[in-house]
Amino acid sequence: MTTGDWRSLAARQFVRMHTDLTALLTGVPDRMLHVRPAALPGANTPAWLLWHVARGQDRNVSELLGRAQLWTAGDRAARFGRLPDPADTGLGHTPEEAAAFHVPSPAGETLAAYLADAHARTLAYLAGAPGDDATRAVTSPTLRDTRTVEERLAALLRDGFEHTGQLSVLLPSAG
């Protein structure tokens, strides 16, 4: 992977996003991670947003690699008090389901570890991806759609930066 290459560009963006998410999460008490702000009654909790970003990366990059998701391998889902459903990424959650989402203590550590592992898998994929992989069509067994690698990565970055912005409003004193 060389500078100026799509893989390098994508890796730098994922590193930026991960750095920002980690800074926002650092030092936040678990109780703050599960609070929906009164002024924004439809907002998702910080815990849900962080989990959703990690789940999106995990599902998509695992599918690009043709490997089992981190979520379903081992006890990752159990540490979140959830079933190891490969399709459970938050996509399609109702406001009630998102509001009920709760990460057992130590929530911050559990979220940070999952974010770090999903991020590491993303960077490993980008480091080893063939130069022409961006145009490869990949069918998602969970979403049952076919998109190029480029489309999947662009959607992950868009979604991740959008949620990072939301988190910066929800956790203004963090980071």
Amino acid (one-letter) located at 164: T
- Quote the pLDDT of residue 107: 96
Q: 126-148 burial string, b = 16+ CB within 10 Å, else e?
A: beebeeebbeeebebebeeeebe
> Taking 50 as the threshold, does the pLDDT of residue 172 lie above it?
yes
Which residues fall within 8 angstroms of residue 105, CB to CB, at 6 or more apart? 30
Cβ-based neighbours of 93, under 8 Å, separated by 6 or more: 48, 101
175 — pLDDT class (breaks 50, 70, 90): very low
Give the whole-number percent of the chain exceeding pLDDT 70. 96
pLDDT at position 173 over 80: no
The pTM assigned to this predicted structure is 0.94
